[in-house]
Structure 1
Amino acid sequence: MRAGQYRSRRFAPVAALAVLLLAGCTAGSTTGSTAGASSDAVSGSTAAGAPGAAPLQPLPAGTPAALATYYAQKLSWQNCRGDFECTTFKVPLDYEHPDRREITLSAIRKTATDPAHRLGSLLMNPGGPGGSAVDYVQNAARAADPGVRSSYDLVGLDPRGVGESTPVSCLSGPRMDAYTAVDITPDDQAEIDALVAADKEFAAACQQESGELIGHVSTVEAARDMDVLRALVGDAKLNYLGKSYGTFLGATYAGLFPGNVGRMVLDGAVDPSLDSRAGNRTQAGGFETAWAAFAADCAKRDDCPLGRSEKEAGQQLTALFRQIDAKPLGTESDRVLTESMATTGVIQAMYSESLWHTLREALTTAKAGDGSALLRLSDDYYERSSDGSYPNLMFANMAVNCLDLPAPFADPAAVQQAVPDFEQASAHFGRDMAWMALGCAYWPTKATGAPHTIRAAGASPIVVVGTTRDPATPYAWAKSLAAQLESGRLLTYDGDGHTAYGRRSTCIDNAVNRYLLGGEAPANGTRCAK
């Protein structure tokens, strides 16, 4: 997906949902923590947001009369998906005109195991934009901390445009296959024309299949939907766990409804103050940092196919990409592996250390002429099913991102001019991510959002978790968001992979769980290691 500051202008948070679920729900190892502010530089922003970004203004307290009927709905929870409960409710398509069209949103919950000591609902979002929270909660409920499970109803709401909530629809499976294979590092005018044609086809298909919905899937609108659900489940305050793009959604809620914020954890934070060009460039640097960590680890291992140094590994990766660009690799299926798919496969493995071994094997077989393993990684990123179908993850991703921020580039000439700057940030992925950012230039709906800071004045403590070598949401973003929030508490994981809570650090897990269960927010600047 070539637009999407958060799922990475094709690469970014949800971390291919399957990986993010693993990252968010595995047991951690014993670690320690230290307090103290980090000295890491915040590229592209000041400590409290990019210069010139205006603050997000809160909405008036109380329920507007025009929305009273939406806030007064009665939820009907029905058994679904085994031992879960599901429900639907209505929200206006356009909050500025709530008397016109309405849309249906879908939610799921797993009720608290200790109802007598229940603290309320914990709304969860895995990121994207476009990741299904309904799917996510099913996995999270099985692996969540026992104390959290006993104290909270775990609730997943598919945001507007996503999954089971009046979804954005665009390309068929075969057309999506073609889209993901298009060269995203064009070498000549013919390849530039092909990329532009693919982006235009994607945009036109979304408009044709989804109509006016694509103009009303912004993060601000999704945050307003969350407040409706907060009221409908009977909670005075919204307790929330958001990962990746889910941090932007949660922070936006806090900015709009600071008085309604309960216990909020934002893990793998997005910096709302950056424009789309700065966000893409910074994210390219995040993937470069993650690649360097992988390459250094690979060079120490006997099964590394890329040589015995980080530098050599980078050179061999570049050579492999060039080879595949010239001649796509055959696979065990009737599809070939293009350079675009190979890059996506490598990027997919950056989201979690658990995939580093898989990537070493995939690069080994690719160098031998078989692209099957890298293709599987690429398909995992897009959540492509074995039958060739795709969820609407990438469709919603493009729609949300193109609404939330103005397009970073107006045309291919602007991208070409920016490529050197992106390559300075990331030698291996900068060029790709510059060209991926072109998609919103052809989007049929103008952006309704702009870069902004979020203060959320008066909100309860908000815990912002950042991982120092996070590929998709660079650590600098967490520092910036925590500094913007009046009640922000920065909690740092010194490690690899995308997001931190529930992954490998007992220190992180304990700090978050103490906050969720007892309201004890960690001291600002607390750091945790593996």
Structure 2
Amino acid sequence: MPRTNRWVTVVCTAMAVLLTSASCTVGGSERPPVPLLLDESEQESFDTDVEVEVPVPDLQVPQSSRLQWADCTEVIRARMGGTGPTDTTYDCAQLVAPLEAPGLPGMGSTPVNLMRVGDGPTPLVVVNDVAGEPGTLFAARLAETLSPELLSTFSIIGMDRRGTGSSFDTSCVPPDDRTTALSYSPRAATPEELAGLQNATETAAKECTLILDELTRAFDGIRSAGDLEQLRAELDLDRLHAIGRGEGSQVLANYAQRFPETVGRLILDGAPDPNLDAIGLAEERARSAEAVLDAFLTECANRPDCPLGTDPSAALRELLDRLAEQPLITDGPPLTEGLAINAILLGLGDRASWPGLADRIAQAGDGSGDGLLELVAPLLGSVNGDQARFEAMLINGCNDTRDRIPPTRVAELVTEWSGRHAHFGGIMAQQLMLCSSWPIPAEEPEIADTDALPPIPVIATALDPVTPGLGTANAAEALSSSVLVDWQGAGHGALGASTCATEIAEDYLVDGALPDETVVCPP
């Protein structure tokens, strides 16, 4: 692709989600065939008469960063499970950010841990979902998939968002209640059957409010965006260049709205649908997760060595039915049907690990549940020194929405969605109860949208179980300066998985070159 054009025409009114069926000229990774995000009958036209040329921000070499970096190669390699490249070195530093809640300044500070990899002179910050790998670890893995040219242009900086990894410790939920919330039977569909889950979520909210007090309100996407602005200043940058994945993309969108003057080259790799409430987002995730599961099972069935046999769907259903009757004894909590479904959901997000996921399911079918339990272990408790991810998912997730769904309504949704989304409808509906007893966040100051942003590539993955592709397309439409990259693949996030999407992102980051209309990347 050309690496020369540093100016891109940006449409200031809403763009079409799919303007054409243009294809990327480079090949994609091997993926199962999946449908386009929108077919021709669903494509819409938008007014594109008003246009303005917004320059792609120049890259800058900082001169006086105030961060103190130190070698942490062995620590990062250990956290990566010994899978990292042996010739790569990692440095770590710590940002100290003000830990204020809305309307309550002067509440102290929080450490925000950072990891740096790559030799490039310009920092490129990576932000991940709070329920996923901590940003430092995710960035280290992402760097392995990026080109030498990008790593010689940028130094990749992963950020453990507040309350994740080894940053501020928000451990406040009793371990038994974590286990209950993640292990609950997805077949529980009446208020009486859901009473145990309701008790666990009420206890979690009570304990976190008691332990963290007013600080429970200091963990959300708005404050993470503020941490990014402080990081930009500490790095001595005029503009922040960053990659956000999944819900981390929403943090970058918040940043762009709050600090438009310091927005640099941003990449949003999967983003939540801004048009849906909590119920709509949960059902959209259930629908997308079912589609990803179908693709996973179909791919396994087409393999001559599929460990789930010639009918993987039947093998999975038999396993889940048996777990509903009798959980498997493991080295940790018993593997219930609910815990197995949560583990499978996490495994579906990593397309490269699908063969291993099939092995884990087959092992559970043979009576050993430890393989599936390993996938969900980071949510249940501390792993490799990183705090349990459940609290970050709970606290940030509930603080980022004002929706509070009553338990009686949750029970109705479990029944409705279980009929429409056989595997994931029940647990997605039950997850809405996590915030039912959580304090409603204080109103935030109005954030004005701007049409003066640089172009922002937004990458959608057609079959994404965490941030569904259609929702990401809607997020792109809501950003006046966006260009949609529509990858027809499967998994959570396209960077490093799709050759096409990754090259488009790298062309933009390195040289400021970006297509002026939607690109559809092959599976």
Residue pairs, 1:164-179, within 5 angstroms: 164-171=166-173, 173=175, 176-177=178-179, 179=181
User: For residues 250 and 457 of structure 2, what CA distance do their matches in structure 1 show?
Assistant: 13
Tell me what 1:20 maps to.
Answer: none
Tell me what 1:327 maps to.
Answer: 326
Shift of 1:419: 2.7
Q: Are residue 78 (structure 1) and residue 77 (structure 2) matched?
A: no
Q: Are residue 90 (structure 1) and residue 97 (structure 2) matched?
A: yes
Counterparts in 2 of 1:248 and 1:449: CA distance versus 1, 3 Å? farther
Q: Sequence identity of aligned pairs in percent? A: 25
User: For residues 340 and 29 of structure 2, what CA distance do their matches in structure 1 show?
Assistant: 35
Tell me what 2:508 maps to.
Answer: 515
Gaps (5+ residues) in structure 2? 1-26, 47-63, 74-89
Q: Are residue 379 (structure 1) and residue 414 (structure 2) matched?
A: no
User: For residues 253 and 47 of structure 1, what CA distance do their matches in structure 2 show?
Assistant: 28
Shift of 1:376: 2.5
Task: Map Cα deviations across residues 83-108 of structure 1 (whole Å, 9 max, x no partner).
Answer: 4041332325136454x223223242
Tell me what 1:357 maps to.
Answer: 355
Shift of 1:251: 1.0
User: For residues 314 and 41 of structure 2, what CA distance do their matches in structure 1 show?
Assistant: 28
Counterparts in 2 of 1:92 and 1:460: CA distance versus 1, 3 Å? same
Between stretches 463-472 and 175-184, larger displacement belongs to 175-184
Tell me what 1:234 maps to.
Answer: 236
Counterparts in 2 of 1:94 and 1:188: CA distance versus 1, 3 Å? closer
User: For residues 241 and 508 of structure 1, what CA distance do their matches in structure 2 show?
Assistant: 13
Tell me what 2:3 maps to.
Answer: none
Shift of 1:291: 0.7
User: For residues 42 and 469 of structure 1, what CA distance do their matches in structure 2 show?
Assistant: 20
Whether contact under 8 Å (1:161, 1:396) holds in the other structure is: yes
User: For residues 168 and 407 of structure 1, what CA distance do their matches in structure 2 show?
Assistant: 22
Counterparts in 2 of 1:223 and 1:425: CA distance versus 1, 3 Å? farther
User: For residues 413 and 221 of structure 2, what CA distance do their matches in structure 1 show?
Assistant: 27
User: For residues 324 and 366 of structure 2, what CA distance do their matches in structure 1 show?
Assistant: 15
User: For residues 431 and 42 of structure 1, what CA distance do their matches in structure 2 show?
Assistant: 31
Instruction: Please give the secondary structure, in 1, of the residue aligned with 2:195.
Output: helix
Tell me what 1:392 maps to.
Answer: 388
Counterparts in 2 of 1:417 and 1:223: CA distance versus 1, 3 Å? same
| Residue from 473, 479, 488 that aligns with 2:473 | 479
User: For residues 276 and 42 of structure 1, what CA distance do their matches in structure 2 show?
Assistant: 28
Counterparts in 2 of 1:134 and 1:361: CA distance versus 1, 3 Å? closer
Tell me what 2:402 maps to.
Answer: 406
Tell me what 1:145 maps to.
Answer: 147
Tell me what 2:206 maps to.
Answer: 204
Q: Are residue 461 (structure 1) and residue 455 (structure 2) matched?
A: yes
| Residue from 128, 136, 152 that aligns with 1:126 | 128
Task: Map Cα deviations across residues 365-389 of structure 1 (whole Å, 9 max, x no partner).
Answer: 3333332322233326657538xx8
Shift of 1:461: 0.4
Instruction: Please give the secondary structure, in 1, of the residue aligned with 2:436.
Output: helix
Whether contact under 8 Å (2:405, 2:436) holds in the other structure is: yes
User: For residues 453 and 497 of structure 1, what CA distance do their matches in structure 2 show?
Assistant: 32
Shift of 1:296: 1.5
Counterparts in 2 of 1:359 and 1:137: CA distance versus 1, 3 Å? closer
Residue pairs, 1:42-441, within 5 angstroms: 75-82=66-73, 83-94=90-101, 96-98=103-105, 100-110=106-116, 113-114=119-120, 118=121, 120-129=122-131, 131-171=133-173, 173=175, 176-177=178-179, 179-186=181-188, 191-304=193-306, 308=310, 313-331=312-330, 333=331, 335-379=333-377, 385=383, 391-411=387-407, 413-423=408-418, 425-441=420-436
User: For residues 507 and 322 of structure 1, what CA distance do their matches in structure 2 show?
Assistant: 40
Tell me what 2:20 maps to.
Answer: none
Shift of 1:229: 1.7
Counterparts in 2 of 1:189 and 1:38: CA distance versus 1, 3 Å? closer
User: For residues 171 and 303 of structure 2, what CA distance do their matches in structure 1 show?
Assistant: 44
User: For residues 176 and 108 of structure 2, what CA distance do their matches in structure 1 show?
Assistant: 32
Counterparts in 2 of 1:429 and 1:190: CA distance versus 1, 3 Å? same
User: For residues 416 and 99 of structure 2, what CA distance do their matches in structure 1 show?
Assistant: 42
User: For residues 223 and 128 of structure 2, what CA distance do their matches in structure 1 show?
Assistant: 18
Between stretches 354-363 and 229-238, larger displacement belongs to 354-363
Whether contact under 8 Å (2:142, 2:496) holds in the other structure is: no
User: For residues 177 and 94 of structure 1, what CA distance do their matches in structure 2 show?
Assistant: 29
Tell me what 2:84 maps to.
Answer: none
Instruction: Please give the secondary structure, in 1, of the residue aligned with 2:264.
Output: strand
Between stretches 348-357 and 246-255, larger displacement belongs to 348-357
Gaps (5+ residues) in structure 1? 1-27, 49-72
Task: Map Cα deviations across residues 151-173 of structure 1 (whole Å, 9 max, x no partner).
Answer: 22322332233334323221355
Tell me what 1:506 maps to.
Answer: 499
Counterparts in 2 of 1:190 and 1:215: CA distance versus 1, 3 Å? same
Task: Map Cα deviations across residues 9-40 of structure 1 (whole Å, 9 max, x no partner).
Answer: xxxxxxxxxxxxxxxxxxx96699xxxx9625
Instruction: Please give the secondary structure, in 2, of the residue aligned with 1:359.
Output: helix
User: For residues 421 and 248 of structure 1, what CA distance do their matches in structure 2 show?
Assistant: 29
Supply the AA of the counterpart residue of 2:371. Answer: A
Instruction: Please give the secondary structure, in 2, of the residue aligned with 1:442.
Output: coil
Whether contact under 8 Å (1:79, 1:86) holds in the other structure is: yes
Whether contact under 8 Å (1:467, 1:475) holds in the other structure is: yes
Supply the AA of the counterpart residue of 2:410. Answer: V
Q: CA RMSD in A?
A: 3.3
Instruction: Please give the secondary structure, in 2, of the residue aligned with 1:296.
Output: helix
Instruction: Please give the secondary structure, in 2, of the residue aligned with 1:472.
Output: coil
User: For residues 317 and 92 of structure 1, what CA distance do their matches in structure 2 show?
Assistant: 45
Tell me what 2:50 maps to.
Answer: none
Instruction: Please give the secondary structure, in 2, of the residue aligned with 1:128.
Output: coil
Shift of 1:189: 5.6
Whether contact under 8 Å (1:280, 1:434) holds in the other structure is: yes
User: For residues 400 and 200 of structure 1, what CA distance do their matches in structure 2 show?
Assistant: 17
